[in-house]
Amino acid sequence: MSNEDRIKALIKKLQGVDVEYMTFGKRLRQIRKERKMTQEEFAELLGTSKQILSRYEREDRSPRIEVVRKYAEALHVSADYLLGDQEAEAVSAMFWAQNKEKPFYQIFIEVTLDELGLEIPDVIQKTGLTDRQVRTIITRQMKVAPLDLAMQLSDTLNVPLEVWLGIENYAPAEVSTDAYEVARAYDRADIKSKNMVRMALDLDLAREETV
């Protein structure tokens, strides 16, 4: 199933629910509320006045691109993020609005670290995310998973998309008897045989343990 088809399937699950798109003004207000700042404090951070900020938040004023870039730099976010949602992000946000049990960053930590036993370098290698992306998810305590990111994690870690979107809880796949026997055989194999397997799977080679 293509990403477009997956998005359409998710939208069907939201039938009867109005998808609310995040605008520049709403995004500014959202970030300000998340940081627990007054309009005066937030305006000072952005290098503007409370009056101008208020007009943006009420959507009485549209920003010029240079303003968007300036604000994005001050807030340490991307200009695209400030400008609001595309369809995928809007749909993802609606799912999170309906399923508020856990924020995305908590699910990300629980699945990758606790359940799959992956450290940050492992996540980077397996998912294709950058070190900055992974650390941003955790340090910024990202509450909502952008849909394209959720799909990338689903495809590379073989974890259902619904888990990353907070719709379903993570359930480890059952290990078949054959897979268990293969794992036992690998554990008993010598270093040369193990490395032949690892080369076939495009994994880093194992090293002889030194005493």
CATH number at residue 145: 1.10.260
Contact between 130 and 124 under an 8 Å Cβ cutoff? The reply is yes
- Give the lowest-confidence range in 23-32, 78-87, 125-134, 177-186: 177-186
Q: Do residues 202 and 181 both lie within one domain?
A: yes
Residue 118 lies in a domain: yes
In our burial notation (b when 16+ CB lie closer than 10 A, e otherwise), range 118-155 reads: beeeebbeebebeeeebebbeeeebbbbbbebbbbbbe
CB 150 within 8 A of CB 92: yes
Q: pLDDT tens-digit profile of 41-72?
A: 999 999 999 999 999 999 898 888 899 999 98
Structural domain range at position 32: 22-84
| Overall domain count for the chain | 3
Please indicate, yes or no, whether residues 67 and 94 belong to a single structural domain of this protein. no
pLDDT tens profile 70-96: 998 999 887 877 776 555 555 555 555
Q: 96 and 29, same structural domain?
A: no
Predicted pLDDT of residue 38: 95
Looking at the structure, tell me whether residues 189 and 149 fall in a common domain.
no
Inform me whether the pLDDT recorded for 154 exceeds 60. Answer: yes
Task: Read off the pTM.
Answer: 0.49
Nearest-angstrom CA–CA distance, 153 and 3: 13
DSSP 31: H
Whether residue 94 contacts residue 145, with contact meaning beta carbons closer than 8 Å, is answered with no
pLDDT of residue 3: 56
Q: Could you read off the pLDDT of 166-200 as tens digits, one per residue? A: 778 888 766 555 655 666 677 778 888 878 877 87
Last-in-domain residue among 84, 114, 130: 84
d(CA 139, CA 203): 29
